Amino acid sequence: MTDSSIITREQEAGFGDYLALLKPRVMSLVVFTALVGMLVAPGGINPVVGFAAILFIAVGAGASGALNMWYDADIDALMRRTAGRPVPSGRVRAEEALAIGVALSVMAVVMLALATNLVAAGLLAFTIFFYVVIYTMWLKRWTPQNIVIGGAAGAFPPMIGWAAVTGGISPESVLMFLLIFLWTPPHFWALALFVRDDYSRAGVPMLTVTHGHRAARRHILAYALALVPVSLGLGLSGIGGPLYLSVAVVLNLLFLRGALALLRRDEAGAAADGYRAEKGFFRLSLYYLFLSFGALLAEAALPGGFRPGGV
Amino acid sequence: MPLTQEHELHRRRFGRNLGLGLVLGGFAVLVFFLTMAKMKEGASMEGFDYQRPAPAGTAAQAEDGG
């Protein structure tokens, strides 16, 4: 007899299961946008402090992912896309996810405060609260606008990165927030158009389910329009410049054209070609965000660029 | 009784322990370098309740002026 035979738990979590609890793919987006927010901010930050700040922002985001998985285990189990997550699949107990989420949240906020400043740490704490309490516990199961409000949580990282360097909030960091905030709904609704997830079975009011695809297509265009002034406004702000502005103009034109194309399509046509335009628009939305922030970064790296408060 | 048989469960546990060990070790190293960076920047080394002594004569001047 080995000692393992007396252990009744069938599935023992590996280290990777705990990592999966932190939603590494969401984390990568957080790391990228927070890093850009930090690098475009006026002034400078010690590389070690900057690395630590990005790490703690990522850990904070991961912790809110773990808390989300703890709370949503019941509905995650009902949807194909999420049924394989560590908690619904039984590899990690829900209480464990809760404990890890709370512990890592506190650790990340305290460490970010010690490494940088209270404004950055306060914003991180608010982001975690917003994602877990406002989005996960309240809005997600209540309103088809859940994605809109939930997107705010994903929009905070560049603001936190900015605050880590400057110790404050400014129009530039608010514009970066707005860019992600307004980008999130069209990005997710495009996905919801072609991924037939079991939202209704799980009781999650997704716009495509509650109001139909027609309404989702209209909403996508509305947000694509709202993005234009924010994106171009960022180009005229202190962190923008000719390079960013030209990239933004092209991206916005493409995004608007894509959104208009989606609006003109009907369900029969979309189903006939396997949602090609919807999938293309979803891919474009990923490029949109990546290239917008990439251009901001390039603008900051350009020699002689206008740096507010800098040289 | 010596453990002679390796079970799949032991492998998972070892992986978990190793992962956690590396994370904790990495955290300690990070805090060390963070401290070094902060000291290099000339961050305040006083405790949160430290009160800087007033320069000599300040109290007297304040009394004169007030």
> What would the pLDDT profile of A252-264 be if each residue is shown by its tens digit?
999 999 999 989 9
Better pLDDT: A239 or A303: A239
Mean pLDDT of the residues in chain A? 89
ipTM here:
0.79
Q: What is the pLDDT of residue B61?
A: 53
Q: Give tens-digit pLDDT for A49-69.
A: 999 999 999 999 999 999 999
- pLDDT at A310 (0 to 100): 40
Instruction: Give B-chain residues touching A48 at CB under 8 angstroms.
Output: 33-34, 36-37
State pLDDT tens for residues A105-161.
999 999 999 999 999 999 999 999 999 999 999 988 888 888 888 888 999 999 999
Label residues A175-191 b or e (16+ Cβ within 10 Å = b). Answer: bbbbbbbbbbbbbbbbb
**CATH level 2 (architecture), domain A16-168:** Orthogonal Bundle (1.10)
Of A7, A49, A55, the CB nearest to B37: A49
Residues A75-92, mean pLDDT to the nearest whole number: 88
**CA nearest A29: which of A294, A258, A281, A301?**
A294
> Which residues touch B64 (CB under 8 Å, ≥6 apart)?
none
Report domain extents, chain A: 16-168, 170-303
pLDDT at residue B49 in the model? 81
Sequence letter at residue A61:
A
What is the percent of chain A where pLDDT is above 90?
65
CA-CA distance, A161 to A307, in Å (whole number)? Answer: 17
> Looking at chain B from residue 2 to 61, which residues have their Cβ under 8 Å from any Cβ of chain A?
3, 5, 7, 9-10, 12-13, 15-16, 18-20, 30, 33-34, 36-38, 40-41
Q: Which residue of A has its CA nearest to B32?
A: A48
